[in-house]
């Protein structure tokens, strides 16, 4: 078994040995650029960890792992167009640095490249299951993005709908990555399902935590501007929980702050945070997160494999979900 | 074996029995809309014809055929954004009727749906070859589209480059469809390759013919406005052949017409057509078309199957390539 950093190193080597074609440069350079923006490679790494629960020859799972990373980067390239986002990880987005045509077409070819990597796994007997899982997850990610787009212009989003959106948009890809690792390793089907749900539920918990950290995180540790969601009037879980549970006066105050722009800055962030605080919203959201997290780890416990084979995966997810402790 | 119209009917039934999911409606309605705009279903039909050279149970090839049609419609949806095209087949394009976000995301999910159809072929032993061929062709179509985009701002496009562009952008999909039909039918590999080249070369001939018909077609038979390429200053094969073979004065006259807008209308079309005519461009282009067409039919002749098994396919491609006779 390998540590996280050893797995990341193996992914780096695999990516370097399997570059995009050189031509047409206008098509492939934006793909290379996107991949160098320095994501955490979380998704391919957990696929490899899922594989290593069962087998030691982890190099056999590298193409499937890289397929997941390429898919993730394809979604980022297209989502950035839809969100009109100028920056990603502090660098110009592809549609900003080049143009929308480039970001569409380079994203398309990156998605197809992901399927080339699935083919490159070279495991004929497992390819149907791999392809089915990947297709299912990829479809759901598009559906989640569509729900997110729809929510921007809806005033009546419920908490279950919001959870469903984050589940589809981001969590199922973690579950799918783990399941694909299990499929590559020919793990029992019941284990593959438990791994899928472990990743899916941990992914939901992670997104809930992300909403919480955006408003309550330690600025020194949180990668983005704390309070960013408040300034952008995002309908996060904190907002939805307030609208569901707080007295009418607080709801109205929150809604009126959400009509204002970002120029009030600190005053706006403080006022909205005060509304959340006096209604115990952070505590309620933390409970929500724990619910999903607990359910996730029950699935991990149900897997028919020795505990020490699950240790690298367990530690990584624990670290991700407890980064503020 | 079945006639073209029987195959189209089978495709229609298959599509109706395999609809997109209902929700989110904002994601899937544009996909349904795109498919109802009434394309000729040429690509899936030839996949089925390739299959029927070898086997009679053509229903087994329907999912792969539909995958090719979904892929084609995905490319149209995204290309229409890139070309800022307001209309397709006389109806509003998806990005016009909805918006760019919708056209990107619905196109993405349609591409993924194509891969779901590949999985639905349910032929484990043939899936790797099917996936490989589909991936290869899909990648090349993106590369061809990128070349086409690049050519818009280049003044020095050569004829071989132009042929390469139409080969990648449109012809390889015909070749790939035929090869996929052969793979589904477990045809010999050499036959699958001959079918691929038959489709690819016929596709190039067809595109060359399309350039010719845009300027010289019978307005009653040609679906689009005759002279449209001239009015839009497109660098078609007619233009490139003129620039390669005509005297400098004619080249300069052509180039100066290509600096003008569409408002000159008939006068511009007549003047440019006269330049082409006095340099025998239509005859030269027709020869170019015949070269690819002849090579295509040599590949069809090389296939190890009785002539009557090839007759439906041969007739359809002959009809497509001789529609002005």
Per-residue pLDDT of chain B (325 residues; tens, 9 = 90+): 999 999 999 999 999 999 999 999 999 999 999 999 978 999 999 999 999 999 999 999 999 999 999 999 999 999 999 999 999 988 999 999 999 999 999 999 999 999 999 999 998 999 999 999 999 999 999 999 999 999 999 989 999 999 999 999 999 999 999 999 999 999 999 999 999 999 999 999 999 999 999 999 887 776 677 888 999 899 999 999 999 999 999 999 999 999 998 787 889 999 999 999 999 999 999 999 999 999 999 999 999 999 999 999 999 999 999 854 3
pLDDT score, position B324: 43
Pair (B250, B115) in one structural domain = no
CATH of the domain at B20: 1.10.600.10
**B158 plus B261 within the same structural domain:** no
From CA A262, how far away is CA A2, in angstroms rounded?
A: 45
Phi–psi pair at A87, nearest 5 degrees? -130, 150
Same-domain status, B196 and B146: no
B124 and B209, same domain (yes or no):
no
ipTM, two decimals, is 0.96
Q: pLDDT-based confidence at A221, cuts 50/70/90? A: confident
For A123-139, what is the mean pLDDT? 97
Domain span at B301: 188-325
Nearest chain A CA: its distance from B230 CA (Å): 24
Between residues B90 and A132, which one has the greater pLDDT? A132
Same domain for B64 and B200? no
Q: Which of B22, B27, B83, B132 to mutate to test the interface with A (most CBs of A within 10 A)?
A: B27
pLDDT of residue A263: 81
Q: Do B109 and A139 touch (CB under 8 A)?
A: yes
Residue A157, Cβ density class (10 Å: 0-12 exposed, 13-18 middle, ≥19 buried): middle
Per-residue model confidence (pLDDT) at position B259: 92
Identify the domain boundary among B106, B137, B167: B167
The verdict on residue B275 lying in a domain is: yes
Alpha-carbon span A53 to A198, nearest angstrom? 14
Our CA-based measurement puts residue B177 at a distance from the nearest CA of chain A, in whole angstroms, of: 17
On whether residue B179 sits in a domain, the answer given is no
- Same domain? For B33 and B150 the reply is yes
Q: Which residues contact B49 (CB under 8 A, 6 or more apart)?
A: B7, B178, B181, B312, B313, B316
Q: Is residue B242 part of a domain?
A: yes
Q: Are residues B299 and B254 in the same domain?
A: yes
- Strand A87-88 and strand B87-88: the pairing is unpaired
Of A82, A100, A119, the CB nearest to B131: A119
Which of B135, B45, B24 is closest to A63 using CA atoms?
B135
CB-closest option in A26, A81, A115 to B135: A115
Indicate if B271 and B304 belong to the same structural domain. yes
Whether pLDDT at A324 is above 70: no
Task: Judge if B120 and B238 occupy the same domain.
Answer: no
pLDDT given for residue A323 in this prediction:
52
Q: Which of B251, B72, B275 is nearest to B155 (CA)?
A: B251
Together in a domain, B232 and B325 = yes
Task: With respect to residue B174, please indicate whether it lies within any of the assigned structural domains.
Answer: no
Closest chain A residue to the Cα of B101, Cα to Cα: A82
Instruction: Write down the pLDDT at residue B323.
Output: 52
Do the domain assignments include residue B178?
A: no
- B173 three-state secondary structure: helix
Residue whose C-alpha is closest to residue B206's, from B244, B163, B142:
B163
Which pLDDT does position B322 carry in this prediction? 80
* CA-based nearest distance B200→chain A, Å: 20
Picking from A122, A131, A147, the nearest residue to B115 by CB comes out as A131
Alpha helices in A18-170 (DSSP H): 25-36, 42-52, 62-82, 94-97, 100-120, 127-152, 159-166
Last residue of a domain, one of B167, B201, B236: B167
pLDDT attached to residue B325? 36
- A273 falls in which pLDDT band (50, 70, 90)? very high
pTM for the whole structure: 0.96
Per the domain annotation, does B83 fall within a domain? yes
Q: In the prediction, which pLDDT does B218 show? A: 83
Residues B116 and B69 in one domain: yes
In this prediction, residue A220 carries a pLDDT of: 77
B143 with B233, same domain: the answer is no
Please give the structure tokens belonging to residue B203: 């596709």
From A147's Cα to the closest Cα of chain B, the distance in A is: 7
The answer to whether the CB atoms of B26 and A146 lie below 8 A apart is yes
Position B254 in a domain: yes
Residues of B in contact with A81 (CB under 8 A): 100-101, 104
- Domain assignment present for residue B296? The answer is yes
Cβ–Cβ gap A24/B124 under 8 Å? no
- How many domains is chain B partitioned into structurally? 2
Model pLDDT, residue B264: 77
Phi, psi of B265 (to 5 degrees): 55, -120
Q: Write B262-266 long-range contacts (CB < 8 A, 24+).
A: B262/B231, B262/B232, B265/B231
Taking Cα atoms as reference points, which of B132, B130, B4 lies closest to residue B61? B130
- CA dist., res. B178 & res. B46, Å (int): 6
Q: Quick one: which of A176, A153, A151 has its CA closest to A72?
A: A176
């Amino acid at each position: 078994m390998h540590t996280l950093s050893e797995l990341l190193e193996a992914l780096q080597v695999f990516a370097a040995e399997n570059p995009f074609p050189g031509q047409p440069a206008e098509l492939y350079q934006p793909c290379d650029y996107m991949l160098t923006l320095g994501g955490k490679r979380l998704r391919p790494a957990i696929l490899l960890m899922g594989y290593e629960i069962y087998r030691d020859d982890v190099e056999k799972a590298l193409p499937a792992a890289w397929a997941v990373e390429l898919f993730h980067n394809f979604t980022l390239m297209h989502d950035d167009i839809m969100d009109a986002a100028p920056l990603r990880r502090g660098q110009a987005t592809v549609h900003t640095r080049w143009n929308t045509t480039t970001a569409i077409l380079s994203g398309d070819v990156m998605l197809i490249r992901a399927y080339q990597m699935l083919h490159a796994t070279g495991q004929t007997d497992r390819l149907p299951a791999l392809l089915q899982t990947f297709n299912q997850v990829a479809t759901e990610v598009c559906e989640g993005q569509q729900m997110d787009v729809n929510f921007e212009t809806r005033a009546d989003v419920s908490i279950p709908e919001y959870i469903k959106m984050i589940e589809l948009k981001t969590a199922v890809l973690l579950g799918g990555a783990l399941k694909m690792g299990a499929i590559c390793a020919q793990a029992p089907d019941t284990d593959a399902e438990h791994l899928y749900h472990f990743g899916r539920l941990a992914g939901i918990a992670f997104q809930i935590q992300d909403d919480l950290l955006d408003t309550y995180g330690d600025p020194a540790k949180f990668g983005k501007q704390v309070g960013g969601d408040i300034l952008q009037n995002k309908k996060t879980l904190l907002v939805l929980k307030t609208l569901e549970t707080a007295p009418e006066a607080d709801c109205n105050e929150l809604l009126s702050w959400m009509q204002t722009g970002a120029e009030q800055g600190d005053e706006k962030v403080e006022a909205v945070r005060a509304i959340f605080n006096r209604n115990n919203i952070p505590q309620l959201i933390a409970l929500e997160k724990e619910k999903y997290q607990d359910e996730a780890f029950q699935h991990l416990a149900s897997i028919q494999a020795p505990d020490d084979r699950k240790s690298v995966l367990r530690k990584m997810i624990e670290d991700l979900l407890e980064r503020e402790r």
